[in-house]
Amino acid sequence: MNAHEIDYHIYGEEMQYVEIELDPQEGVVAESGSFMMMNDQIQMNTIFGDGSNQDKGILGKLFSAGKRLLTGESLFMTVFTNQGFGKKKVSFSSPYPGKIIPIDLSEVGGRFICQKDAFLCAAKGVSIGIEFSRKLGRGLFGGEGFIMQKMEGDGMAFVHAGGTMAKKELQAGEVLKVDTGCIVGFTQEVDYDIEFVGGIKNTIFGGEGLFFATLKGPGTVYIQSLPFSRLAGRVLAMAPQTGRGGRGEGSVLGGIGDLLDGDNRF
């Protein structure tokens, strides 16, 4: 597999976008809704799957699209190809405040595993598929279910992290414990599992959930400070129609917790 070689530049701080420079006939694939702007003579086409199996007949196309359906994504992706004679640029924006992370797949062994909604765009030729969890506990309680997303190939790919991004280089045997929703992605050598928080008080009153993820090195891990699920939950909790501030998030007390901290509104 030889992905297109693309150049890029990331702009901005809180609401970033990535500008990709395409040589003639070079292309980039992206999720629907991430497109921002492009030069003239860049052709946009909607395709089944990620475009990596377009020369393998109808079965290859259906298999590629079916993998994306299992991750909860659309059956279709959009490919942007430079049909002109000079260099052209196309840009893709972050879906919410955070950081865009460039991943050179040729430098991470040709595979990177990430949460299902982290993928933003990639050089044409990169395969965007699924990664099944072989551990029952990880699948049931890991926050991402039995399926995560994986990117394979030798080109550039871009993922998005909410809030501030932390990059951790884990040594062999080194363990990092993380909130399950805060994982953006990790290299293929990392051993990912879940662990019970433990303790009656932690479980009932901690407000941090019942499980956290354990990431064991060696490998590279990307962590986000503001998962979209957490951001959406806070917004919904503060909405006027809910009738309360939602400070009981993550606690089994729920609304009772709001009564205890005086935040209940009548």
User: With contact defined as beta carbons under 8 Å apart, do 135 and 191 qualify?
Assistant: no
Name the more confident of 239 and 4. 4
Average pLDDT of 218-230?
Answer: 87
Average pLDDT for 129-146: 57
Mean pLDDT of 55-73: 56
Residue 93 lies in a domain: yes
Q: How confident is the model at residue 241 (pLDDT cuts 50, 70, 90)?
A: low
pLDDT at 145: 47
Nearest to 190 by CA among 98, 72, 109: 109
Average pLDDT over residues 184-195: 90
Strands (E), 12-107: 17-22, 27-30, 35-38, 42-48, 76-82, 88-93, 98-104
Q: Is pLDDT larger for residue 102 or for residue 70?
A: 102
Name the range with the highest mean pLDDT among 42-56, 170-184, 238-252. 170-184
Q: Which long-range contacts (CB under 8 A, 24 or more apart) does 145-149 make?
A: 147/70, 147/71, 147/116, 148/71, 148/113, 148/114, 148/115, 148/116, 149/71, 149/113, 149/114, 149/115, 149/116, 149/118, 149/119
Q: Is residue 251 part of a domain?
A: no
Residue 252 is assigned to a structural domain of this protein? no
**Does residue 238 lie in a domain region?**
no
Question: Mean pLDDT score of the chain, rounded to an integer?
Answer: 78
Q: Stretch 238-248: mean pLDDT, rounded?
A: 55
pLDDT in tens, 27-62: 999 987 889 999 999 999 988 766 665 545 555 555
| Backbone φ/ψ region at 162: left (φ over 0), alpha (ψ -120 to 50), beta | beta
Residue 252 has pLDDT above 70, yes or no: no
Residue 244 maps to a domain: no
46 within domain boundaries? yes
CATH at 139: 3.60.160.10
Instruction: Label residue 63 by pLDDT band (50, 70, 90).
Output: low
- Is 160 contained in some domain? yes
Q: Is residue 139 part of a domain?
A: yes
Q: According to the model, what pLDDT value does residue 19 have?
A: 97
Whether residue 211 has pLDDT greater than 50: yes
Q: Is 121 helix (H, G, I), strand (E, B) or coil?
A: strand
132, exposed or middle or buried, with CB in 10 Å at 0-12, 13-18, 19+? exposed
Q: How far is CA 211 from CA 7, 192, 262, in A?
A: 40, 13, 28
Q: What is the pTM of this model?
A: 0.77
> What is the pLDDT, as a whole number, of residue 110?
94
pLDDT band for position 123 (cuts 50, 70, 90): very high
For residue 145, the enclosing domain spans 7-229
Q: Comparing 89 with 238, which gets the higher pLDDT?
A: 89
Sign, CA dihedral 241-243-248-254, equals negative
Number of domains forming the structure of the chain:
1
